[in-house]
C-alpha cells in the first residue's frame, strides 16, 4: 500500500498526464522569464479541501513557485475569499491552473457535503460515514475529503475489513457460519461487520456474538425495533434510503453510525477560479 504522500504524488502525476500531455501549447507562448502572482478564489461558501494535491501539482509543474495559503483543509470559506496566492513563473502557473482547480473543486465538494450531513446529526450519537461508492482511482482522496468535512471513513476497500453481506451469508450457508469464519482472521483486519435485513437476522447476529451490525434498507420502525433489541450489545449502522431530509430522523433512533454514499457520488463541484494579481499579499497562514 502507498503512503498518503505517495498516493497524492501518483494522483497528481496521473491527472497532469491527461491534461498536459507532451506540453502546454498555449502557455508556451508566454516568455519563459515572465513571473506572476496568481490567487485562487472560492466563489461560494464551502469547506476547503485539496491543499496537498495543489501543493503537489506545483511541485511537479512549478517547482520554484511559492504558495501562500490563507485557509487550510477543513476550514470554511465565504464567497469571494482568497484561498491561496502563488508566486512563480507565469507559464508554469497557467499550466498548473486547471489541475489545481479540479482537485479543489472536487474534494471541497465532498468535504462541504459531508459537513452539512455532520451538522444535521449534531447532538445525537450518530456519526456520518462514507462508503466504497467512489470515483474509480480517487478513493483515497475522496475519503480524505470526508474526514476534512468531519465525517468518518468506513473501510478503505475489500482488503482492510470484513463486511459480511447477504450473498456472503448465502454462500457460507448461514450468518453464524460466515461470522465464525471471519473470527479466524480477526487479528488481521480492522473490524468485522455483519449486514442484516430483518429483526430476526439481528437477533441471530447478536446470539453469534457480532459486535458491529449494518442494518440494510430498513424502515424507520424496523430500525427503532433493532435499537431496542440491541440495547448496546453491538454498534448499529444504517445504510440505504438515507437522504439529507430524513437524516436527522434516522439519527434520533439511537443508531451509532450512518453510512451515506451520496457524500461522494452525488456532489456539485465548488466554484473556484484562478486570477493573476498585480502583487503578492504579504500576510500568509503558516
Residues annotated as catalytic are 98, 133, 165, 195, 216
User: Is 41 in contact with 83 (CB distance < 8 Å)?
Assistant: yes
Q: Which three cell numbers stand for residue 192?
A: 468485522
Q: How many CB atoms lie within 10 A of CB 155?
A: 19
Q: Assess contact for 47 and 76: CB atoms under 8 A.
A: yes
Rounded Cα distance, 226 and 250, in Å: 12
Going from the C-alpha of 171 to that of each of 158, 160, 168, 175, the distances in angstroms are 17, 21, 5, 10
CA distance 92 to 90: 5
Distance CA 263, CA 131 (A): 9
Kindly state the greatest CA–CA separation across the chain.
73
**What does DSSP say about strands 272-277 and 35-42: parallel, antiparallel, or unpaired?**
antiparallel
CA atoms within 13 A on the CB side of 79: 1
Q: Any alpha helices (H) in the chain, and if so which ranges?
A: 4-19, 51-61, 90-120, 139-148, 166-172, 175-183, 199-208, 220-230, 247-251, 262-265
| DSSP calls for 235-277 | EEEEESS--TTTHHHHHTTT-SEEE-THHHHS-----EEEEEE
Contact of 174 with 144, CB cutoff 8 Å = no
Q: Position of cell 461487520?
A: 193
Amino acid at each position: 500500500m502507498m503512503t498518503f504522500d505517495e498516493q497524492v504524488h501518483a494522483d497528481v502525476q496521473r491527472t497532469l498526464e491527461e491534461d498536459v500531455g507532451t506540453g502546454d501549447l498555449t502557455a508556451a507562448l508566454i516568455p519563459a522569464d515572465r513571473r506572476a502572482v496568481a490567487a485562487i478564489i472560492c466563489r461560494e461558501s464551502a469547506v476547503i479541501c485539496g491543499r496537498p494535491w495543489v501543493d503537489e501539482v506545483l511541485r511537479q509543474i512549478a517547482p520554484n513557485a511559492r504558495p501562500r495559503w490563507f485557509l487550510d483543509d477543513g476550514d470554511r470559506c465565504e464567497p469571494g475569499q482568497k484561498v491561496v496566492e502563488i508566486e512563480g513563473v507565469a507559464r508554469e502557473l497557467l499550466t498548473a491552473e486547471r489541475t489545481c482547480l479540479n482537485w479543489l473543486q472536487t474534494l471541497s465538494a465532498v468535504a462541504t457535503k459531508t459537513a452539512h450531513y455532520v451538522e444535521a446529526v449534531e447532538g445525537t450519537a450518530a456519526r456520518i460515514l462514507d462508503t466504497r461508492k467512489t470515483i474509480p482511482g480517487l478513493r483515497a482522496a475522496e475519503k480524505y475529503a470526508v474526514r476534512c468535512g468531519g465525517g468518518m471513513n468506513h473501510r478503505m476497500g475489500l482488503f482492510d475489513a470484513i463486511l459480511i453481506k447477504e450473498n456472503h451469508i448465502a454462500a457460507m450457508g448461514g450468518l453464524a457460519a460466515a461470522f465464525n469464519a471471519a473470527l479466524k482472521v480477526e487479528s488481521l483486519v480492522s473490524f468485522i461487520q455483519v449486514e442484516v435485513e430483518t429483526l430476526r437476522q439481528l437477533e441471530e447476529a447478536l446470539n453469534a456474538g457480532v459486535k458491529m451490525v449494518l442494518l440494510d434498507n430498513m424502515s424507520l420502525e424496523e430500525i427503532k425495533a433493532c435499537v431496542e433489541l440491541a440495547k448496546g450489545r453491538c454498534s448499529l449502522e444504517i445504510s440505504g434510503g438515507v437522504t439529507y431530509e430524513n437524516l436527522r430522523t434516522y439519527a434520533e433512533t439511537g443508531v451509532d453510525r450512518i453510512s451515506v454514499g451520496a457524500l461522494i457520488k452525488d456532489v456539485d463541484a465548488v466554484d473556484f477560479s484562478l486570477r493573476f494579481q498585480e502583487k503578492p499579499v504579504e500576510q500568509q497562514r503558516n
